[in-house]
Amino acid sequence: MKSGLHFLLAAKCCEIAELQQLTLTAELVDASARLVHELQRERGMSNLYLGSAGQRFGAERLAQVAQTAHAEQALRQHFDQLDTQATQLRQGARLFARIAYVLHGLAALPALRQQVGRGAWLPAQATAAYTRLIAGLLAVIFEAADTASDPAISRLLVGFFNFMQSKELAGQERATGSALFASGQADDAGQQRLTYLIESQERALEVFAQFAPGEAVALWQRSDDPNTRAALERMRRMLGATVAGGALNPELSQRWFDTCTERMEAMKAVEDHLSKDLRALCHQRREHLGQELQALDQVPTSVLPVGLDFFDATPDGSPSPGLPLGTQLQHSVLELVQAQAQRLQAMSAELDTTRASLNERKLVERAKGLLMAQRQLSEAQAHKTLRQLAMNQNRRLVDVAEAVLALADLTTGTVHPHTDAATHK
Amino acid sequence: MKSGLHFLLAAKCCEIAELQQLTLTAELVDASARLVHELQRERGMSNLYLGSAGQRFGAERLAQVAQTAHAEQALRQHFDQLDTQATQLRQGARLFARIAYVLHGLAALPALRQQVGRGAWLPAQATAAYTRLIAGLLAVIFEAADTASDPAISRLLVGFFNFMQSKELAGQERATGSALFASGQADDAGQQRLTYLIESQERALEVFAQFAPGEAVALWQRSDDPNTRAALERMRRMLGATVAGGALNPELSQRWFDTCTERMEAMKAVEDHLSKDLRALCHQRREHLGQELQALDQVPTSVLPVGLDFFDATPDGSPSPGLPLGTQLQHSVLELVQAQAQRLQAMSAELDTTRASLNERKLVERAKGLLMAQRQLSEAQAHKTLRQLAMNQNRRLVDVAEAVLALADLTTGTVHPHTDAATHK
C-alpha cells in the first residue's frame, strides 16, 4: 500500500517533470520570438518594396527572406523535438493545435513571398498576411505562458508575452505610419488605427513592467533612447494631428520607418534578455527542486507518523503553537507533508493572480472580436467602443468586456455544454 | 519534419489522454465521497456516544467504524492504482500532496477512535478531528475539479464539489446543533457558528444549482422533503432565537439529529446521482473524441495544404465568407486545423468561467483564514466580518476578500517571487 511519503515524493517528481517541460518551453519561446522578429523585418521590407513599386529594398528583402528562413528552420527543429507522444502534457492539446496552425501558415509563406515579389498584392494585403502568421506565433507563446504552474516562471512568461505583444503592435504601427506618410495624406481610418496601436502598446508595456523582473524593466527603460523617443513622438503627433485629407510629407516615410525600426531593435535586445532570464530561472528552480527531492529521499520510509499529531497541527498545515517542534522523526514526515501542501497552496494563490492578467486579456480580446463580427467594426473601432463604455460607466475595461460577452450569451441563447454534450460536434 | 496534421492528431490524442485521466479521477471522486459520507456518520455517532458518556450508540458506533473501514479500503485501492510514475499529470503535484495529507490523517484515525472509545475527549474535540480529515478529503476533490479541462466535466465537478461542501456543512450543523440542544442552553458562539454554517450551506447549494446538470438539481429539489425541511427550519429557529444562556429542550437533541441525518441521507442520494452523471459524461466525451480521431486518421497525410488559403480565412479560424467552402482536400486540412483551434478556444473560454467560481472560493477561504490568524477570530466570526464589509460597501464577497488579501500583501511587504527565487526555500 502506498504511503503518504510515497505520494509526497511523487508530488515532488511532478514538480520536477513540469520544470523540465518548462525548460523545453523556454527554448520554444526563444525560437518563436526570433522568428517573429525576422518576420516583422520581412514584413516591413515587403511593405517598402511594394510601396515603391519594386524600386527599393529589392536586395534587402531577399537577404531578409534568407534570414527568416534560417529562424524558421530553427523553430521547426524545436517543433520536431517536442514529444508529441507525451499526451499527458499540461495544455498539450491547445499548444499542439496552435503549432498546427503555425505550420500551415509557414507552408503558405513561399506563396506569399511570390505575391510580394511579383508586386501582385497591395502593401496592406501583404502586411495583413504577415500579421496573421505572427499572431499565430504569439498564440504559441500565450499558451506557453498559460501552461506554467511555477508562479515565478509564470510571471516572467506573462511579462515576456506582453512585451512581445507590444513589440508586434509597434511593428504594426510602423507599417501603418509608413503607408500614411507614403500616401502623402492623412485619413481617418489610418489615424484611428494608429491611436489603437499606440494605446494597446502602452497597455501591454504596463503589464510587462508589472510582471517582468526589475532588471529587464530597467533595461527597457534605459534602451528606450530619449532622442529616438522624441523623434517618434513628433512624427506620431504629425500623423495624429493632421486633419483627415490633409497633407503629410512623403519624405518622412523613410525617417519614420528608421525611427520605428531602431526602437524595435532595442525591444529585441530586451526580449533576448528576458529569454536568458527565463532559461536561468528554469535552471535555478530545477536545481532547487532537485535538492528538495534529495532531502526527501533521505527520510527513512520505515518511519510512519501515527498517533494524534495529525489533529494537533492547525488546518493550514502549520504546527499549532503548543506543539513541541522537534527533530523527532515521527513529526518530521507530517511536517514535510504539511509544508509541501502549504507551499503548493501558496504557489497556486500566486499563480491565480498572474493568470488573472492573462484571463483579462482573453476576455477583452473576445469582446473585441464579438463587436467586430456583430457590428462589422475594425479592431480599432471595437477597441474604442469598449474603452468609451468603460469610461462612461467608470468601470475597468475587463468588466465592460465581461458585460458585453454576458449580453451576447444571453441574446444568442448559448446553451451550457453539459446539456448538449451528447449532440455536440 | 512533423506536419500540421501531425500536431493536429497529437492535439486530439492529448484530449483523449486527459479524458482517460478524468475517468480515473471520477472514480477517485466517487470513492472519496463515499468515505466522506461514512466519516460523517461516524463523527455524528461518536458525538452522541461521547455526549451520553458512553451510554448510547456504543454498538452503532462500532458497526459504523467497520463500515468506514470498508470505504477506507476502497479509497486506498484507488490511491494505489494511481500512476504516481506519470509525473506529467496535470496538477499532479497538488493532487499527490493532498493525498499524502489524507493518508496521514487516515493513519491517525485508529488513535482518534481510541480516544473516543475511552471517552477521553470532549465531543467538540472529536468533531474537530473528524472534520479535519474530511476537509482533507474534500481538498482532494477540489483539486480534481480544478484539473479538468473539459468544460462540461469541469462544470459537473464544480457542482459536485459544492454539493459535497454543503453536505459537509450540514454535517457540522448537525453536530453543533446536537451539542447545543444536549447542553440544554443556547450560547453565543454556537449560535454564530450555526448562522455561518447555514449561510455557507446555502451559498454552496446555489453554486451547485448553477453548475450541476438540471436533472441532479431537480432530484435534489424533489428529495428535499417538505416535512423534514419544515421540522428542520423550526428547530433551527429555536436554536437561533433563544437568547444566549436561555434554555433549550435537551429532549430535542435526538430529534434534531435524526432530522439532520435524514436530510444528509437524501443528499447522499444526489451525490450518487452526480457521480453516475460524471462517469457517464466522461464515457460519452471519450467516445466522441474517439470518433473525431478516427475521422482525422482518415485524412491522407500526402495532402499538404499550400498556397494562400491560409491568409484568406478570418483570423478566428472561420473561413472568410467569399471562400468557396468545398470538399477539396487541400482546404479540408486547413479547415480542420482552424476548427480544432476554434473549438479549443471556445472550450478554454467556457472553462475560464467555470474556474472563476473555484477561484472566488479560494479567495474567500484565504481571506477568512487570514482574518482568523491575524485577529484570532473563529471561522464564523471571520465569515461575518467579510460579509459585513461586503454589505457596508455594497460589494461582492469575493471583491472584499481580494481587498483584504491585497491589504495584507501590502502591510507584510510580500516580495514577488521572481525577486527572491534564488533564496526561496
pLDDT at residue B326, rounded to an integer? 36
Q: Which residues pair with B247 in a beta bridge?
A: B185
Q: Using the predicted structure, report yes or no on whether residue B301 has a pLDDT greater than 90.
A: no
pLDDT, residue A373, reads: 83
Residue A413 burial class via C-beta count within 10 angstroms: exposed 0-12, middle 13-18, buried 19 and up: exposed
- Among partner residues A7, A91, A110, which is closest to B103 by beta-carbon distance? A7
Do the beta carbons of residue A161 and residue A138 sit within 8 Å? yes
Residue where the block lists cell 528583402: A61
**ipTM here:** 0.75
B393 CB-contact burial (10 Å; exposed 0-12 / middle 13-18 / buried 19+): exposed
Minimum distance, in Å, between the CA of residue B227 and any CA atom of chain A: 32
pLDDT digits (tens, 9 = 90+) for A56-113: 889 999 999 999 999 999 999 999 888 776 655 556 788 888 898 899 899 889 999 9
Query: What pLDDT is recorded for position B23?
Result: 86
How many of the other CB atoms lie within 10 Å of CB of A188? 10
Least confident among A20-29, A391-400, B42-51: A391-400
- The CA distance from A168 to A134, in Å, is 8
Which of A18, A112, A334 is facing B311, going by the closest CB pair?
A112
Cα torsion A115, A119, A121, A124: sign: positive
Q: Which amino acid is at A280?
A: A
Q: Pick the residue from chain B with its C-alpha nearest to A95.
A: B11
CB B384 within 8 A of CB B185: no
Distance (Å) from the C-alpha of residue B342 to the closest C-alpha of chain A? 9
Q: Residue A319 pLDDT > 50, yes or no? A: no
pLDDT at res. B318: 42
Share of chain B above pLDDT 70, in %: 88
* Sequence-ordered list of residues with C-beta below 8 angstroms from that of A400, at least 6 positions apart, any chain: A367, A386, A389, A390, A393
SS3 content of chain B, % helix, strand, coil (to 5): 80, 0, 20
pLDDT in tens, A349-389: 777 777 777 778 888 888 888 888 888 888 888 888 888 88
SS3 A424: coil
Which one, of A159, A289, A275, lies nearest residue A217 by Cα?
A: A159
Q: Is A424 on the interface with B (CB under 8 A)?
A: yes
Band of residue B236 on the pLDDT scale cut at 50, 70, 90: very high
Instruction: Say which of A105, A309, A416 has its CB closest to residue B155.
Output: A416
Mutate to test the interface with A, among B1, B5, B7 (most CBs of A within 10 A): B7
Per-residue pLDDT band for A151 (boundaries 50, 70, 90) equals confident
Length of chain B: 425
Segment holding B159, helix H or strand E: helix B151-183
Alpha carbon distance B199, B180 (integer Å): 18
Window 59-78 of B, Cβ < 8 Å to A: 76
How far B1 CA lies from chain A's nearest CA (Å)? 6
Residues 288 through 347 of chain A touching chain B, CB cutoff 8 Å? 288, 304-311, 315-316, 333-334, 337-338, 340-341, 344
CA distances from A125 to A47, A80, B136 (A): 9, 31, 58
Averaged pLDDT, B257-278:
94
3-class DSSP assignment, residue B377: coil
Domains and CATH numbers, chain B: 4-82+90-287 (no CATH), 328-412 (1.10.10.10)
Mean pLDDT of A45-49: 89
Residue A221 buriedness (CB in 10 A; 0-12 / 13-18 / 19+): exposed
Nearest to B159 by CA among B211, B203, B220: B211
Distances, alpha carbon A421 to alpha carbons A330, A341, B215, in Å: 49, 35, 14
A337 near B101, Cβ under 8 Å?
yes
